[in-house]
Amino acid sequence: MSLAKISSVSGRAVAVPGNDIDTDRIIPARFMKCVTFDGLGEFLFYDVRKNADGSDRSHPLNDPRFKGATILLSGANFGCGSSREHAPQAIQKYGFKAIVAENFAEIFFGNCTTLGMPCLSAKREDIAILSAAVEANPGIEVTLDLVKQEIRFGGQRISATLRDSARDALVNGRWDAIGELLEGRNAVAVRARTLPYLAA
């Protein structure tokens, strides 16, 4: 299985500010009644983006200035709560390619990485600078550099980190582990034999 090597992501950005944005908010549970991930994109942030009658509420994703943005900016503890992969799937299927936040909930971070969607952590004040630049000029090109661990936009640069294992996996095109895990089949069998509870 050949995977893309993701060493940078460039595009326009949109800020969805706030801390502790949970996975129920990212994708409300009722949209998880499905047996495939297809079509989840349209339900991203549904309950904060839409009124009960389906009309739009005021939300950055409804703002035409940010239409087509591929980089999502947010606050601390982004993606907390449920382990539902439906959350990163909805973000990715909506069109996002990467997320920048102060920090991420553990399970969500792993889920995003496995989908080849980098989650970069930056300082609160740096995200504020980036968000202000995007607000002032929504067309501004933002580049996330995974190798240099920095974000460049309009002549400015801020640092942004990514834990080593995730960076390695993305940059070297091994973010989906299944191929490598399958290769370890024999070693798995050897290990399994040492654990009595695994006996068939």
The binding site for another protein (CB under 8 A) comprises: 18-20, 22, 24-25, 28-30, 32-37, 47-48, 52, 76-77, 80-86, 88-89, 103-107, 110-111, 114-115, 124, 163-166, 168-169, 172, 174, 176-178, 180-182, 184-185, 187-188, 191-192, 194-198, 200
Sheet strands side by side (includes 119-122): 8-11, 142-145, 150-153, 156-161, 119-122, 98-101, 71-73, 13-15
Select 2 or 185, whichever has its Cβ closest to another protein: 185
Select 65 or 124, whichever has its Cβ closest to another protein: 124
Given a contact cutoff of 8 angstroms between Cβ atoms, the answer to whether 89 and 37 are in contact is yes
CB of 137 to another protein, least distance (A): 25
Select 136 or 189, whichever has its Cβ closest to another protein: 189
Contact residues for 95 (Cβ-Cβ < 8 A; gap 6+): 41, 68, 69, 70
Select 125 or 141, whichever has its Cβ closest to another protein: 125
Q: How far apart are CA 56 and CA 96, in angstroms?
A: 20
